[in-house]
């Protein structure tokens, strides 16, 4: 579990000969009673609703067949804890926006089918600040309301996103938005100086710039540590 409360796949950088490699422990494997490796059934968010991998981005689909927020709600409704999973997905979406990851497509979310017919969303994986790469698009994998990019998102768009996920009460939408935005921003701001010390100043700048753009729109205060003294990176 990360300091921000996300369960993620276990990964480490290892050296194999003269090559640095990323070693990731599979979360869809477990040991059975005899100590043998057993496979846990997994479906990503394209497979679960029957979409091909080619339609993993909303922009590639059609209104009748695409990866979008309405489809995600149907997938989450099939889990053992739909309300809890919906809340975690909202937090994951905000985290991706704040950290510049616009590649949260259907193949980067998955369901795990566990013992006794329990279905849950898998730990998070393939998390990258894609907006640091000027060669990649800044278009979101799925639209937030009517917005296709982070810069275009308005408070009304995020409200529409929550309503489509099933948060019907306006008061509940405001409460969820402000609570999650504030807690995630506090946690990310606490990490900015450490990122800089580790040589990741551009990533820290990206996070700070995203927070300054998103938080006023979401109705949350900008924490100390995300001040204009932090530079703003150029992103593509």
**pLDDT tens readout for residues 126-168:** 999 999 999 999 999 999 999 999 999 999 999 999 999 999 9
Least confident of 6-20, 79-93, 94-108: 6-20
Q: Choosing from 96, 103, 157, 205, which is the catalytic residue?
A: 103
Please say if the pLDDT value at position 234 is more than 60.
Answer: no
126 is a catalytic site residue: no
User: What's the mean per-residue pLDDT of the chain?
Assistant: 92
- DSSP structural state of residue 153: -
pTM > 0.95: yes or no:
no
Give the Cα separation of 35 and 23 in Å (integer): 22
| Contact status, residue 113 vs residue 42, Cβ threshold 8 Å | yes
Task: Give the angle 69-54-48 at the CA atoms, nearest 5°.
Answer: 50
Of 109, 119, 40, residue with least CA distance to 80 = 119
Residue with tokens 């279905």: 119
Distances (CA, A) of 116 to 41, 80, 82, 113, 163: 13, 11, 17, 9, 31
Please say if the pLDDT value at position 184 is more than 80.
Answer: yes
| Contact status, residue 218 vs residue 191, Cβ threshold 8 Å | no
CATH 1.10.3470 fits 11-218, yes or no: no
């Amino acid at each position: 579990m990360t300091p921000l409360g996300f369960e993620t796949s276990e990964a480490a950088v290892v050296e194999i000969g003269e090559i640095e490699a990323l070693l990731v422990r599979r979360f869809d494997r477990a040991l059975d009673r005899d100590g043998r490796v057993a496979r846990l059934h997994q479906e990503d968010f394209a497979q679960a609703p029957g979409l091909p991998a080619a339609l993993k981005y909303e922009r590639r689909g059609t209104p009748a067949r695409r990866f979008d927020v309405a489809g995600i709600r149907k997938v989450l409704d099939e889990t053992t804890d739909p309300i809890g999973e919906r809340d975690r997905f909202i937090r994951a979406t905000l985290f991706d926006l704040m950290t510049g990851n616009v590649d949260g497509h259907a193949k980067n979310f998955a369901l795990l089918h566990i013992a006794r017919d329990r279905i849950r969303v898998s730990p998070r994986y393939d998390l990258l600040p894609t907006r640091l790469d000027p060669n990649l698009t800044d278009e979101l994998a799925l639209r937030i309301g009517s917005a296709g990019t982070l810069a275009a998102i308005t408070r009304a768009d995020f409200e529409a996103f929550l309503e489509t996920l099933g948060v019907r009460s306006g008061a509940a939408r405001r409460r969820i938005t402000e609570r999650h935005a504030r807690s995630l921003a506090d946690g990310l701001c606490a990490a900015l100086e450490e990122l800089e010390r580790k040589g990741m100043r551009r990533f820290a700048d990206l996070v700070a710039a995203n927070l300054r753009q998103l938080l006023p729109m979401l109705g949350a205060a900008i924490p100390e540590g995300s001040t204009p003294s932090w530079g703003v990176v150029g992103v593509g």
